A and B are shown apart, each in its own frame.
Chain A
Amino acid sequence: MTTSAPDPATPLVSVRDLRTHFPVGGGLLNRLRGQRRVVYAVDGVSIDIMPRQTLAVIGESGSGKSTMGRTILRLIEPTAGTIHFDGKDITALSGEELRRERRRMQMIFQNPYSSVNRRYRLVDIITEPLRVHGIGDARFRQERAAELLERVGLNADFLHRYPHEVSGGQLQRVGIARALATEPTFLVADEPTASLDVSVRAQVMNLLADLKAELGLTLMFISHDLAVVSYIADYIAVMYLGRIVEVGTKEALESAPQHPYTRALFAAAPKPDPRQRRTGAAPLGEVPSAINRPSGCHYHPRCPLATDICRTEYPVLEWKTSRQQAACHAVPAVTPPPGATLQPVVKA
């Protein structure tokens, strides 16, 4: 289904020093005083995503994970940095050129109901990307819609239904079918199962895993749900206030998280077992505002390991084991593994 077989050794998506800052209001008076407040939603992220791999991005609300996904797809304008897609710099593309690249990168949204036009039938929803990109004639698109519906486990009876006539799980399948319509190689899935019930969540996760394997998709999976991340990810990146604080293979992070924030996040994950109740105090405090970020390491006010240097200097992301990097003054770095580039790139 992919147009050209991507080279497994070069990243499909390569992001360098990506920044997405949003100016916030603050009123006329502040503007006259020259005080501009800025939300540092994404603040200097570099990451490579290898073909056919799934990078999961985790973090709390306000960590910038959704903004990062949208910025990479150029749905939000980056403030600085570069985005390469399949070797091509797409950071500054616009108009027709951008649209051509967009065919190969699509998005699956969190809430299936709010991400479709309620007045469209499902067939219109699924074929909309084809119409936008001028692919095929009406008959071709209709057939493609039926094919896609079947691919996501719904029969052709659904084609002429409206969104309110199907369940949330079924509509999320439609959202996936729509994302697949233009035969993309790269998908960004932003909390695709967060609004689904447990019994339906597993269906959608299995579908995504199947599609990834069968179509050779490269996936950026944004989620706060560690259990679904653990099911689908090859790599995990942990974000905190706009920056990646830890990144590495799923196995490395799960077996030995290095950053104190990753550890706190994993420890806070509730377990569906009454014999494993969390005991002791919950991690202190809340995520600070992305406008007034703490100095130095943004995590230091909540960090049990914080020392003086943490209050003044932001730690760089460095290798802490041969399979993961973290940005923390308190954790000793190791010599980068041979051939290591910027990211923990492990060949598929």
Chain B
Amino acid sequence: MSQQPNGHQEGGLGPADEVLRVRGLTVTYQSRGRPVPAVRRFELSVGRGEIVGLVGESGSGKSTALKAILGLHLGAETEVKADELVLDGLDLRSLSTEQARRIRGGQMSMIFQDPINSFNPAWTIGSQFRRVLALHRPDLSRSEYDDEIIRLLADVGIDGRGKLKSYPFQFSQGQLQRIMIAIACASKDLKVLLADEATTSLDVTIEAQVLELLRRLRRERNLAMILVTHDLSVVAEMCDRVVVMYAGEVVEVADVYDLFERPQHPYTQQLLKAIPHFPHGGGRLYAMRGAVPRLDQPISGCTFAPRCDRHLGSICDTVPPELRPTANTGGAVAACHLIGRAEPARKD
């Protein structure tokens, strides 16, 4: 893998010190005998120690893309294809089942939205933790497991002493989310942490604590993270770079400051306009018209065209726009026919 000491790769999307690279990822589900292209032409690149936000609404394909990257089973009839899927020089497409199992939880882990349902309710926290250590910590002997678990729990702010025989229901949601993070980060080889709406079900005060924990993990272990979320506040707070998805495709990639201050794609612009603020400044909320399109029906042209406030005419309804470099720096791109036209796209 080519690496440059600093700055971004020329012509590419990503950072120089790239640890994860995805190109041309496609995920197609089958629903009632019809193919549903849930993720199309997906691209992503993450640098070491970088936090990338993957933003989109329900049905945008963000969670599906994340699961496909981790190689999670998406259903027997689901087809996953990628031109490139590289984790720190390792081609993830060519792994055996056993190799893939060692990568998951070893070099790349995932934390989920709902901590309660992510644990087996009938097993103690200790036994669930020990299974992960058995798989990903060959440096430890069995007798060392419990001490290591206590240490890993302490790292996420939980005093695990005397609690390893406790069951998931005996912990609060916030505690379980921390325990899940501790388990996900148990491997010493961990390079990329994937988080799927990891703080969505938490109260704001607890969310703030979990986000701070994730920031600390990045700082201390130089972990790369992909945060899948629909919450733009979480993105603003946490991310270095943002990938915006709509209806299964990447529509914009930009540095977090550029994304919030100079969004290039009309969807990003309208999404930012639609967020209610606290305190509310008065007046009506901007409401995007319509809803996300169904993916089991063919879409011609730009998927966002029916809801777009800056619709250009027939080109938007007939020609799907490609990702093209925008006025923003750092390899920013957007998929919109407005990009590169004589009159540059402006923030509304």
Contact = CB atoms under 8 A, between A and B. Distances in A.
- Does B bind A? yes
A33 B264 CA distance: 67
B291 A167 contact: yes
Given A231-B276, A274-B256, A206 B287 contact: yes
A131 interface: no
Interface string A187-229: 0000000000111111101100100000000000000111111
A183 B43 CA distance: 51
B94 interface: no
A272 B275 contact: yes
Nearest to B284: A206
A198 B291 contact: no
A274 B277 contact: no
Contacts of A275: 257
A269 B285 contact: no
B280 A231 contact: yes
Contact of A227 (B207, B260, B277): B277
A169 B291 contact: yes
Interface stretch (A15-23, A88-96, A282-290): A282-290
B207 A198 contact: no
B187 interface: no
Given A168-B58, A206-B287, A269 B278 contact: yes
A202 B287 CA distance: 5
Contacts of B235: 272
A270 B205 contact: no
Contacts of B286: 202
B174 A199 contact: no
Contact of A277 (B205, B237, B288): B237
B265 interface: no
B209 to A, nearest CB: 4
A231 B205 contact: no
Q: Main SS of the interface on chain B?
A: helix
Contacts of B239: 274
Nearest to A59: B203
A270 B233 contact: yes
Interface in B168-191: 172-175
B72 interface: no
Interface string A253-294: 010000000001110111111111110011100110000000
Contacts of A278: 208, 237
Contact of A201 (B233, B274, B279, B280): B274
A42 B19 CA distance: 51
A219 to B, nearest CB: 16
Given A231-B285, A265-B204, A199 B237 contact: no
A205 B278 contact: no
B232 A282 contact: no
B337 interface: no
B60 to A, nearest CB: 9
A230 interface: yes
B276 A230 contact: yes
A158 to B, nearest CB: 13
A273 B236 contact: yes
A270 B287 CA distance: 21
A270 B236 contact: yes
Given A202-B276, A273-B236, A274-B239, 16 more contacts: A60-B204, A168-B58, A197-B58, A198-B232, A200-B57, A200-B291, A202-B286, A205-B285, A230-B280, A254-B278, A268-B208, A269-B233, A270-B234, A272-B272, A275-B257, A286-B175
Closest 9 pairs (CB-CB, A-B): A270-B233, A282-B208, A227-B276, A230-B280, A197-B57, A199-B288, A202-B287, A202-B285, A60-B203
14 contacts: A61-B203, A199-B57, A199-B287, A201-B276, A202-B286, A230-B278, A265-B205, A266-B278, A269-B204, A270-B233, A271-B233, A271-B278, A274-B237, A274-B257
